[in-house]
């Protein structure tokens, strides 16, 4: 089999024939069998390409360790769940070839967070979200099925594209795109629990919970536990602050709840939030209570969480003000962030006033194809 490629014009003829049969023989059977699925997953006439990764990069990856992608040789036959896992392994390996974040390869949402917070990765070079990727895998499965049955005299029943990542439109099939899908159906997500700063735990009067709150008209109680989880100290949770400046398309609001612990007779170590009449359940989002270290006549450290879109001009003004005020160090925990703001952070990191850290927790929810909004949002 020969493949004609290239073009010609009045100056030169760039056409050439590629011997497909010779190339096929030079490949191992496994490598030859996984190429159709890999080609569909990394971009062909009917599927999207992966930004920043050409076919040479992809081929080098699968040639180096084809056994890692064994399931792709049956991509047109296996069930969708297995196909999705096999495709996810390929895409994860492209974005993280050294397996630095191997534990996140089972979920592209988690890998997105790792790459965005632990490396200087631009938004365009993040992997797709899980919902968007599932639609892409469906389209790739359809294309692979068509290729792998094209040599048959009796073609199988035609497959409907609308069952494989396509949707109907006035001009024919259009790719089905998932922009947002919540990763967690919980109405409230506890980020951290911090005790009132005191020199001794037995004079702490309250605990502050920093949460993402998607509840509507729900009252909560705090269930506080000590070393043993048998008995909980229960008290009402009161809203201290709630960020509701912009309610457009917001499902979970940054909220602080405060829980009194004045009458407790043991050291609070763990805490959960439950609805007012629900039973305290130690397994439901239990958080370890953080006790800030207190030292008399010592310095404090200013800590901020940088997330989403931050105005670089405002950041420069803020940092210059901190320098005028004599601040020695600002710790900044990074989530997904616009590149202009990140450049400002790197500048002040070089000056020595900033120390950049990765955020310790993966936030709930998924950022799909839209990475940041035009307004300034975030914990800052």
pLDDT one-digit tens code per residue, 302-325: 666 666 678 889 889 989 988 888
Is the pLDDT confidence value at 367 over 50?
no
**SS3 state at 172:** strand
Among 73, 70, 121, 132, which Cα is nearest to 95's?
121
Answer for the pair 69, 38: CB distance below 8 angstroms, yes or no: yes
Q: What is the mean pLDDT of residues 153-162?
A: 76
Q: 200-204, 298-302, 344-348: which has the minimum mean pLDDT?
A: 298-302
Is the pLDDT confidence value at 143 over 90?
yes
Q: Which helix (H) or strand (E) holds 271?
A: strand 270-275
Is the pLDDT confidence value at 109 over 50?
yes
- What distance in Å separates the CA atoms of residue 356 and residue 353, rounded to the nearest whole number? 10
Is the pLDDT confidence value at 168 over 50?
yes
Among 165, 192, 191, which Cα is nearest to 41's?
165
Mean pLDDT of the chain: 82
Residue-level pLDDT at 83: 92
Predicted TM-score of the model (pTM): 0.51
Is the pLDDT confidence value at 348 over 60?
yes
Query: What is the distance of C-alpha 132 from the center of its chain?
Result: 12
Answer for the pair 290, 217: CB distance below 8 angstroms, yes or no: no
Answer for the pair 126, 115: CB distance below 8 angstroms, yes or no: yes
State pLDDT tens for residues 330-342.
Answer: 888 777 778 888 8
- What distance in Å separates the CA atoms of residue 380 and residue 377, rounded to the nearest whole number? 8
State pLDDT tens for residues 24-44.
Answer: 889 999 999 999 999 999 999
| Between residues 125 and 63, the one the model is more confident about | 63
Handedness of CA 146, 152, 153, 159 (dihedral sign): negative
Q: How far is CA 215 from CA 211, 234, 260, 273, in A?
A: 11, 20, 21, 12
Q: 55-64, 162-171, 280-289, 297-306: which has the minimum mean pLDDT?
A: 297-306
Supply 257's token pair.
């709840």
**SS3 state at 253:** strand
Supply 244's token pair.
């509701």
Is the pLDDT confidence value at 366 over 50?
no
Residue-level pLDDT at 146: 92
- What distance in Å separates the CA atoms of residue 317 and residue 305, rounded to the nearest whole number? 17
Q: Confidence class of residue 89 from pLDDT cuts 50, 70 and 90?
A: very high
Residue-level pLDDT at 178: 65
Supply 48's token pair.
């999207």
- What distance in Å separates the CA atoms of residue 137 and residue 32, rounded to the nearest whole number? 20
**160 φ, ψ (degrees, to nearest 5):** -85, 125
Answer for the pair 355, 332: CB distance below 8 angstroms, yes or no: yes
Q: What is the mean pLDDT of residues 167-174?
A: 86
Q: Secondary structure of the chain: what % helix, strand, coil (to 5)?
A: 30, 25, 45
Q: What is the mean pLDDT of residues 55-65?
A: 94
Answer for the pair 160, 173: CB distance below 8 angstroms, yes or no: no
- What distance in Å separates the CA atoms of residue 74 and residue 148, rounded to the nearest whole number? 10
59 beta partners: none
Residue-level pLDDT at 248: 54
Q: 45-49, 313-317, 348-352, 357-361: which has the minimum mean pLDDT?
A: 357-361
* Percent of the chain's residues with pLDDT above 70: 82
**SS3 state at 344:** helix
Residue-level pLDDT at 241: 86
Q: Confidence class of residue 370 from pLDDT cuts 50, 70 and 90?
A: very low
Residue-level pLDDT at 321: 87
* Percent of the chain's residues with pLDDT above 90: 35
Residue-level pLDDT at 355: 87
Q: What is the mean pLDDT of residues 153-181?
A: 78
Supply 20's token pair.
């497909």
Residue-level pLDDT at 228: 66
Residue-level pLDDT at 74: 93
């Amino acid at each position: 089999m020969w493949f004609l490629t290239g073009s010609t014009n009045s100056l030169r003829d760039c056409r050439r024939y590629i011997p497909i049969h010779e190339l096929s023989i030079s490949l191992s059977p496994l490598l030859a069998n996984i190429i159709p699925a890999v080609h569909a997953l990394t971009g062909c006439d009917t599927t999207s390409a992966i930004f920043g990764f050409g076919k040479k990069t992809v081929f080098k990856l699968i040639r180096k360790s084809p056994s890692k992608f064994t399931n792709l040789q049956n991509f047109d036959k296996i069930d969708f769940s297995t196909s999705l896992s096999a495709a996810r392994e390929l895409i994860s390996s492209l974005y993280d070839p050294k397996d630095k974040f191997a534990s996140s390869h089972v979920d592209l949402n988690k890998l997105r967070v790792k790459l965005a917070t632990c490396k200087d990765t631009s938004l365009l070079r993040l992997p797709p979200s899980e919902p968007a990727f599932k639609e892409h895998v469906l389209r790739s499965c359809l294309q692979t099925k068509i290729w792998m049955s094209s040599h048959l005299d009796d073609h199988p029943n035609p497959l409907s594209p609308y069952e494989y990542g396509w949707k109907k439109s006035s001009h024919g099939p259009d790719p089905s795109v998932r922009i947002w899908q919540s990763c967690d159906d919980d109405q409230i997500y506890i980020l951290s629990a911090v005790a009132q700063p005191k020199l001794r735990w037995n004079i702490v009067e309250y605990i502050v919970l920093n949460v993402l709150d998607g509840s509507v008209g729900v009252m909560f109680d705090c269930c506080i536990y000590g070393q043993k989880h048998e008995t909980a100290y229960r008290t009402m949770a009161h809203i201290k602050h709630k960020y509701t400046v912009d309610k457009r398309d917001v499902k979970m609001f940054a909220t602080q709840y405060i829980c009194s612990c004045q009458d407790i007779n043991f050291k609070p170590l763990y805490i959960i939030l439950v609805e007012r009449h629900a039973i305290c359940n130690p397994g439901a989002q239990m958080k370890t209570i953080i006790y800030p270290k207190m030292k008399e006549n010592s310095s404090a450290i200013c800590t901020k969480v940088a997330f989403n879109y931050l105005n670089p001009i405002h950041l420069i003004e803020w940092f210059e003000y901190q320098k005028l005020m004599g601040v020695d160090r600002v710790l900044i925990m990074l989530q997904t962030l616009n590149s202009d703001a990140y450049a400002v952070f790197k500048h002040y990191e070089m000056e020595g006033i900033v120390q950049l850290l990765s955020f310790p927790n993966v936030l709930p929810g998924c950022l799909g194809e839209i990475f940041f909004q035009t307004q300034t949002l975030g914990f800052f």
